[in-house]
Structure 1
């Protein structure tokens, strides 16, 4: 009930009224049942806009650090992220990665829409980077449809490193659901996982028109951080 009130009465109307996002293909999202929503990742606000325009409840797995702030600012951040469908998880790697997978599978087990960014982190320069195979393992283990979705111009509203968004319109484009049932039972095959992931990234690139770079975005960020020291 709290989620519904915050999304439909408090946060949703305010954010959508200010930024007036345009949307293409929302009808391609299944009306019921578990769905994985795999998207490009241009800005922190991708995870805000997408759940707010959905007709159904949608959950993103967000860094737990976003929910640990103190005082009025911490309370507002937690309330806002909860209203936007964020679920706190530990994303530090190792056992945490396995826990994240299990959390995602639990969300799907409830028949909910789960949002995933195959790139693993925000693009440092608005290009599309190599996808990580966790999304493939998730879709094969859950056996659910995957809908590709791309955000348009969100990096211009809130570039990396900024705290206050700029007011301008953004876009959201949904693609046709992808079916990977032909790979059922092969979630342990790393070649299959890479093939599925690459197919997802190809579709995201086709929908977005972004230039594709066949390296991980995190590697580019680490390299740039090392050069800036």
Structure 2
């Protein structure tokens, strides 16, 4: 409720004045009842731009690391995510992840809008990555529709690693709701969950125009980190130099 008031009085007008967001398909969002807004994830600011344009409150599932940072930056980040109506999503798997999905399920059953990023993390290079099964589990368990959303240009406003956003226009394209009631009774079937997730990702891809990569974004991020570490270690060895004509390890 606090964020809803802040959005109406302060955040919304400020965002609209600075970033002049445009939106298509806003009438595809149900005016009442629970629904999932499934969006691509280009920037940490995605969770600010979309709710500004929606007339109903939107609760987002955000990775739990945003809420547990240390120091001043960590506290400010955690406060920001709480203020913007976001729930921590544990991505470690097992019971912790199920509990996080349970909070999202309750939000939907209470008749609210739930925003989720099926990729699980921001795209490291602008491509659309394979969706995780959480979005399908939530839709199948609650019977609510999934509304695909494409964020446009938010990666230029706040690229990964940038704290202060660039002032430029952003856009949102909202697709028609996807109904998965045909899978009633098959909520626990992993093949059904994957099929539903892939259908959602395909709808997002069509709206966003992004290149699709059939691999998890987190996997690519881990690979990039490993490559940077390897390159750094190689550079350090090169900087240290080696002289094959020097003394042997035993000093001779």
Residues 62, 93 of structure 1: alpha-carbon distance in 2 compared, 3 angstrom cutoff: same
- Unmatched 5+ residue regions in structure 1? none
Q: 1:150 aligns to what SS in structure 2?
A: strand
Counterpart-to-counterpart distance in 1, 2:9 and 2:64: 25
Q: CA deviation at 1:68?
A: 4.9
RMSD of Structure 2 on Structure 1 (CA): 1.8
Counterpart-to-counterpart distance in 2, 1:43 and 1:143: 29
Matched, 1:25 2:25: yes
Counterpart-to-counterpart distance in 2, 1:123 and 1:28: 25
Asked if 2 retains the 8 angstrom alpha-carbon contact of 1:60 and 1:86, the reply is: yes
- Unmatched 5+ residue regions in structure 2? 230-252
Asked if 1 retains the 8 angstrom alpha-carbon contact of 2:89 and 2:101, the reply is: no
1:110 alignment counterpart: 110
Q: CA deviation at 1:65?
A: 4.1
Asked if 1 retains the 8 angstrom alpha-carbon contact of 2:88 and 2:100, the reply is: no
Q: CA deviation at 1:50?
A: 1.0
Residues 63, 201 of structure 1: alpha-carbon distance in 2 compared, 3 angstrom cutoff: closer
Residues 65, 124 of structure 1: alpha-carbon distance in 2 compared, 3 angstrom cutoff: closer
TM (norm. structure 2) is 0.85
Q: 1:149 aligns to what SS in structure 2?
A: strand
Q: How many residues in Structure 1 have an aligned counterpart in Structure 2?
A: 229
Within 5 Å, which residues of 2 pair with 1:1-229? 1-68=1-68, 77-78=77-78, 80-229=80-229
Counterpart-to-counterpart distance in 1, 2:109 and 2:153: 33
The structure with more radius of gyration: 2
Q: 1:177 aligns to what SS in structure 2?
A: coil
Q: Give a deviation string over 1:18-37, Cα, whole Å, max 9, x none.
A: 11100001011010000011
Deviates more, 1:15-24 or 1:90-99: 90-99
Q: CA deviation at 1:66?
A: 3.1
TM (norm. structure 1) is 0.93
Residues 88, 134 of structure 1: alpha-carbon distance in 2 compared, 3 angstrom cutoff: closer
Asked if 1 retains the 8 angstrom alpha-carbon contact of 2:89 and 2:97, the reply is: no
Counterpart-to-counterpart distance in 1, 2:160 and 2:220: 14
Asked if 2 retains the 8 angstrom alpha-carbon contact of 1:7 and 1:83, the reply is: no
Q: 1:144 aligns to what SS in structure 2?
A: coil
